[in-house]
Amino acid sequence: MSSNVAPMSVDTTMGAAYIGVMAAGILYGVSFVQTWYYFAKYPGDVWYIRALVASVCLFETVHQALITHTVYHYVISNYNNPDSLGEMVWSILLEVLFNGFIGLLVQSFLLLRVWRLSNNHLPLAIIIGCLILAEFGCSVAFTAQSLQFTTWGELEGLKGLSMAVNLLGAAADVLIAAALFYFLHTSRTGFKKSDTMISKLIAFTVSTGLLTSVCAVASLISILVSGHTLIYVAFYFCLGRLYSNSVLATLNARQIIRRIGEASDELSFSLQSVSKTAQRNVGSTRSANISIKIDTIHEFIREQRQNSDDDNADPESATTDKTLTELTPSL
């Protein structure tokens, strides 16, 4: 960025940053409510998922404070000092590190899900892991070097690192979403209950993966097209919020998705009851259908067995619920 351009274009510098802070603030409020809902509804989740949610919420809070300080510094504290727009404040540089922390946590969590769903597919895990670590490494390097600068003009030398952060993030998100889509799609059982829940999981995976990828690409394009402005900052401020909201939405939607599966199971049960009655009344078809009937009853018993005192989920549902617990959307 150029230090002599920034003060002349308030709309595309502080205006863009202000819009980014407002949008990030709204998304922060949504994620905070989702965090409260998660801890209220899922107190029995394994410790590392609860730790993930708590850590993401903490880093989001720090990040929101940093970007709010940035805009306050330029717009309020230096209201009558337009020359200050040519100088960088420390908070806008440090926020990159905390956005990197959020991305590292969420993407690593998703990588673990890919690892398990793929039956420990090592080459795929290595590729995704390298992208995640490279993205975080670029974020750390950008923060460490930029904190030594005082003007926007000096930051021009780190344009490559800034582009790399967004490019690597988008690549990791797309690859994670594609891998989860593939392994979820191939895990279909042919039974309506399981397939309904898996379809919902696939929808979450694709939509959340696209959201974070599109945001990162938009930030990258803004750097390429309007690198002398802060338009890219408006997108980057929101990137961490999209990561956190996507994983929280997936975790919090488990009960809803399972209820959808149970509704499908009720229809299946009605059809099976009719089939059993017909088999009793039509003796001529009994021997021909006996093996099908036994398989159906065995499958139905398996699907109706409870996995907890307060939840009527079957083993198949329990397996899907475990998958719901372990998956993130990408972010």
**CATH number of the domain residue 178 falls in:** 1.20.1070
Instruction: Name the residue with higher pLDDT: 201 or 245.
Output: 245
Percent of the chain with pLDDT over 90: 50
pLDDT at 4: 38
pLDDT exceeds 80 at position 39: yes
Distances, alpha carbon 24 to alpha carbons 69, 216, 229, 246, in Å = 13, 14, 19, 14
SS3 224: helix
Average pLDDT for 274-297: 44
Look at residue 196 and tell me if it is in a domain: yes
Quote the CA–CA distance of 80 and 76 in Å, as a whole number: 9
Number of domains into which the chain is organized = 1
Average pLDDT for 307-323: 49
pLDDT at 199: 80
SS3 89: coil
How buried is residue 201: exposed, middle or buried, by Cβ count under 10 Å (0-12/13-18/19+)? buried
Average pLDDT for 121-139: 95
- For the segment 154-199, what is each residue's pLDDT rounded down to a tens digit? 888 899 999 999 999 999 999 999 998 898 888 777 777 777 777 8
Mean pLDDT of the chain, nearest integer: 80
* Neighbouring C-alpha atoms within 13 Å toward the C-beta of 58: 8
156-170, 193-207, 260-274: least confidently modelled range: 260-274
Instruction: Name the residue with higher pLDDT: 257 or 295.
Output: 257
pLDDT at 297: 40
Neighbours of 22 (CB within 10 A): 15
pLDDT band at 22 (very low <50, low <70, confident <90, very high): very high
Closest CA to 182 of 128, 135, 238: 128
Look at residue 281 and tell me if it is in a domain: no
Look at residue 94 and tell me if it is in a domain: yes
pLDDT at 192: 72
Closest CA to 25 of 59, 58, 53, 63: 63
Distances, alpha carbon 265 to alpha carbons 111, 191, 197, 311, in Å = 31, 9, 11, 15
107-111, 154-158, 268-272, 320-324: least confidently modelled range: 268-272
Closest CA to 171 of 111, 216, 236: 216
Look at residue 217 and tell me if it is in a domain: yes
Domain that holds residue 13: 6-259+322-326
Average pLDDT for 310-317: 49
pLDDT at 286: 43
pLDDT exceeds 90 at position 73: yes
Look at residue 240 and tell me if it is in a domain: yes
pLDDT exceeds 50 at position 83: yes
pLDDT at 318: 55
In DSSP terms, 311 is beta-bridged to 308
Question: How is the chain split among helix, strand and coil, in percent rounded to 5?
Answer: 80, 0, 15
Look at residue 85 and tell me if it is in a domain: yes
pLDDT at 287: 41
- For the segment 139-152, what is each residue's pLDDT rounded down to a tens digit? 999 999 999 998 88
pLDDT at 322: 52
pLDDT at 324: 52
* Global pTM exceeds 0.85: no
pLDDT band at 269 (very low <50, low <70, confident <90, very high): very low
Quote the CA–CA distance of 127 and 310 in Å, as a whole number: 41
Question: Which residue's entry shows tokens 């793929």?
Answer: 118
Look at residue 230 and tell me if it is in a domain: yes
Look at residue 205 and tell me if it is in a domain: yes
217 neighbors 238 (Cβ within 8 angstroms): no
Instruction: Name the residue with higher pLDDT: 116 or 28.
Output: 28
